């Protein structure tokens, strides 16, 4: 072990204790899915049902929160802010950042469809740690810095007319809490949503306590227990945040559309029952088997979508850090491995796809080395600012350009993802593009047995919930079948920030049967070794690297 790795590990063990998060329920193993890997080994359908059991905890949480005064205050504040000409700004990081962008785009889509008066078009904004670029590829380490979030609030020039709705699965993400502190300084109304017990966070994590105990912050504690896949907050944590924040926003849309808001707990319960039905479980299991077989034979999956492109993007992007898969790559990058799964819109070019999907210009970051240094970024980050500008984002071709790059092998597959059927234009465009692929599939969630999604509400919230739950189960199940899950732990995690360094250390400790300190030393040593490998090969999981040597 090098002296550099040893000192880095010691610093993390002794000085970074605020990122040692094993005591949080969202970081722990859920007893309902303890044998998730074995259940999927027995049958895909059994594994699907095991995963779905945990989603019921979200329903229990929803019934509690929807009846509470904090949700009522959130819903009323969203409406009053807009009526007074202010903005409602959702902020998040990683999965919650992608959720924040999705909520904004759902609102703008409803305005474009004429459901909401046009004067409210710019009433909703989003802040994603790392900017819009992080929608399609994680920006390493940005979540560790509160000043990064504060800077993004300043860039939007929030003031006392605006409301910030900060969303952090664990309740401790520094960049998101940075948006809270900056918004408070600017006089904004602030709400904070998270998925761990508020008293536990306030007791152990100073940065969380400062926000939770501030009387100016309205706290919505969405605690719903550990995740189905330990630590994977893209699952039940983000599901709970999407249903609660989405219900508050759609209630405002109903208000401006002159409609009565639906009973969201009841509608969510119906959706879960449909997902648990035998036809839907079989459909998801069949999709898992199909994808796993493609990947086993070194094939690639390309999803094609239009109206629900952002939903598909969210799940596909999050597979990379969760399961150590190759991330999306730029069109001028021929050295990095191609991603196993990708998403494209067959109707538009890349630039048109983003404009059509977001109904606004891209909001990416052009921070310089000096900007990063001034915000306290370490030298290794500030000296090499990540390429996350709008120009960089447009190099990841999510439109109808170059589909041939995704169909170079005999198992490469095109999959059309729709909700309640494809339009004739989308169907025709898919048929033309898919003609070059060796294999093709069409997944319509209505045909899978989700009858309730036929009922359209202003933001189509339950349709977005349905596709999220379907894809979360599909992607997690596929990785379980392929052996990238141990028990119910994502043992191929990518340690790209301090929270994930802690999670990786705990994984090695638990699975390998060694102490936290020894695990940390071994993990930092592995990270240094792996960093020296050829970038043209798929990145190795440091956790797997260590476990294979124990």
Q: Give tens-digit pLDDT for 407-429.
A: 999 999 999 999 988 999 999 99
Q: Give tens-digit pLDDT for 302-342.
A: 999 999 999 999 999 999 888 989 999 999 998 999 999 99
Q: Give tens-digit pLDDT for 188-230.
A: 999 999 999 999 999 999 999 999 999 999 999 999 999 999 9
**Topology adopted by domain 36-50+268-315+328-481:** Rossmann fold (3.40.50)
Residues in the chain: 550
| Angular region, 377: left φ>0, alpha ψ -120 to 50, beta rest | beta
Domain boundaries, the chain: 3-29+489-549, 36-50+268-315+328-481, 55-263
pLDDT (mean) for 426-434:
96
- Does residue 497 or residue 5 have the better pLDDT? 5
**Topology adopted by domain 55-263:** Rossmann fold (3.40.50)
In angstroms, the CA 104 to CA 172 distance is 23
Q: Give tens-digit pLDDT for 249-292.
A: 999 999 999 999 999 999 999 999 999 999 999 999 999 999 99
pLDDT above 70 for 353: yes
Q: Give tens-digit pLDDT for 91-134.
A: 999 999 999 999 999 999 999 999 999 999 999 999 999 999 99
Percentage of the chain lying above the pLDDT 70 cut: 99
- Does residue 61 or residue 512 have the better pLDDT? 61
pLDDT above 90 for 492: no
- Does residue 251 or residue 540 have the better pLDDT? 251
Nearest residue to 237 (alpha-carbon basis) of 184, 285, 176: 176
For residues 234 and 428, the answer to whether their CB atoms sit within 8 Å is no
pLDDT of amino acid 154: 98
pLDDT above 90 for 449: no
pLDDT of amino acid 237: 97
Kindly indicate the confidence band of residue 535, based on its pLDDT and cuts at 50, 70 and 90.
low
pLDDT of amino acid 531: 84
Q: Give the DSSP H or E segment for 439.
A: strand 439-444
In angstroms, the CA 173 to CA 176 distance is 6
In angstroms, the CA 96 to CA 185 distance is 23
pLDDT of amino acid 88: 98
In angstroms, the CA 378 to CA 52 distance is 41
Q: Give tens-digit pLDDT for 360-378.
A: 999 999 999 999 999 999 8
Angle at 118 between CA 421 and CA 136, to 5 degrees: 55
Which value, to the nearest 10 degrees, does the dihedral of the CA atoms of residues 307, 311, 312, 316 take? 160
Q: What's the whole-number average pLDDT of the chain?
A: 94
Tokens of 64: 């509690």
Q: Give tens-digit pLDDT for 478-489.
A: 999 999 999 999
In angstroms, the CA 465 to CA 382 distance is 38
pLDDT (mean) for 153-177:
97
In angstroms, the CA 88 to CA 81 distance is 7
- Does residue 544 or residue 125 have the better pLDDT? 125
pLDDT of amino acid 536: 58
Contact residues for 45 (Cβ-Cβ < 8 A; gap 6+): 281, 282, 285
pLDDT of amino acid 59: 98
Tokens of 28: 């722990």
pLDDT of amino acid 167: 98
Max Cα–Cα distance, the chain, nearest Å: 66
pLDDT of amino acid 534: 59
Alpha-helical segments (H) within 213-349: 236-257, 264-275, 278-296, 309-323
Nearest residue to 304 (alpha-carbon basis) of 432, 473, 391: 432
pLDDT (mean) for 11-24:
91
Name 343's bridge partners: 303
pLDDT above 90 for 380: no
Buried b (16+ CB within 10 A) or exposed e, 521-539: bbbbbbbeeeeeeeeeeeb
pLDDT of amino acid 231: 87
Nearest residue to 463 (alpha-carbon basis) of 266, 307, 261: 307
């Amino acid at each position: 072990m090098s002296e550099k790795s040893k000192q880095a590990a010691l610093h993390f063990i002794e000085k970074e204790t605020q990122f040692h998060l094993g005591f949080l329920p969202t970081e722990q193993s859920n007893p309902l899915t303890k044998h998730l890997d074995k259940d999927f080994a027995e049958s895909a359908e059994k594994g699907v049902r095991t995963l779905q059991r945990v989603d019921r905890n979200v329903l229990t949480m929803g019934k509690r929160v929807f009846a509470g005064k904090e949700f009522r205050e959130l819903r009323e504040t969203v409406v009053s802010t807009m009526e007074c000409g202010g903005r409602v700004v959702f902020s998040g990081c990683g999965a919650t950042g992608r959720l924040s962008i999705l909520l904004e785009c759902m609102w703008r889509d409803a305005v474009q469809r004429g459901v909401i008066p046009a004067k409210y078009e710019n009433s909703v904004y989003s802040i994603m740690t790392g900017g819009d670029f992080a929608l399609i590829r994680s920006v390493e380490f940005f979540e560790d810095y509160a000043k990064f979030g504060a800077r993004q609030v300043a860039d939007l020039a929030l003031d006392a007319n605006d409301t910030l709705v900060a969303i952090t699965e664990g309740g401790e993400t520094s960049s998101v809490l940075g948006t809270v502190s900056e918004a408070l300084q600017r006089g904004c109304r602030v709400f904070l949503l998270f998925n761990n017990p508020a008293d536990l966070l306030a007791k152990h994590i100073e940065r969380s306590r400062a926000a939770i105990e501030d009387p100016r912050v309205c706290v919505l504690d969405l605690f719903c227990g550990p995740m189905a896949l330990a630590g994977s907050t893209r699952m039940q944590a983000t599901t709970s945040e999407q249903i609660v924040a989405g219900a508050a926003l759609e209630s405002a849309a109903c208000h401006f559309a002159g409609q009565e808001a639906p009973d969201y707990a009841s509608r969510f319960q119906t959706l879960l029952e449909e997902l648990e039905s035998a036809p839907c479980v079989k459909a998801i299991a069949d999709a898992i088997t199909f994808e796993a077989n493609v990947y086993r034979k070194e094939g690639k999956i390309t999803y094609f979508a239009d109206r629900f492109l952002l939903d598909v993007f969210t799940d596909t992007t999050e597979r990379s850090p969760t399961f150590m898969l190759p991330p999306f790559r730029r069109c001028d990058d021929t050295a990095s491995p191609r991603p196993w799964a990708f998403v494209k819109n067959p109707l538009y070019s890349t630039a048109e796809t983003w404009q059509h999907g977001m109904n606004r210009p891209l909001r990416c970051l052009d921070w310089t080395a000096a900007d990063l240094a001034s915000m306290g970024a370490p030298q290794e980050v500030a000296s090499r600012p990540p390429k996350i500008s709008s120009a960089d984002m447009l190099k990841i071709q999510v439109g109808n350009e170059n589909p041939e790059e995704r169909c170079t092998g005999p198992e490469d597959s095109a999959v059309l993802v729709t909700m309640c059927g494809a339009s004739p234009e989308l169907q025709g465009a898919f048929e033309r593009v898919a003609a070059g692929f060796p294999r093709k599939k069409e997944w319509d969630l209505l045909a899978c047995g989700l009858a309730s999604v036929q009922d359209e509400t202003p933001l189509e919230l339950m349709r977005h919930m349905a596709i999220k739950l379907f894809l979360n189960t599909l992607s997690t199940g596929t990785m379980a079948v392929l052996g990238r899950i141990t028990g119910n732990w994502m043992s191929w995690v990518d340690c790209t920030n301090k929270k994930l360094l802690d999670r990786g250390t705990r994984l090695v400790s638990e699975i390998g049967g060694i102490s936290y300190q020894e695990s940390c030393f071994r993990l930092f040593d592995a990270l240094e070794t792996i960093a020296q490998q050829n970038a043209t090969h798929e990145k190795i999981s440091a956790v797997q690297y260590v476990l294979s040597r124990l």
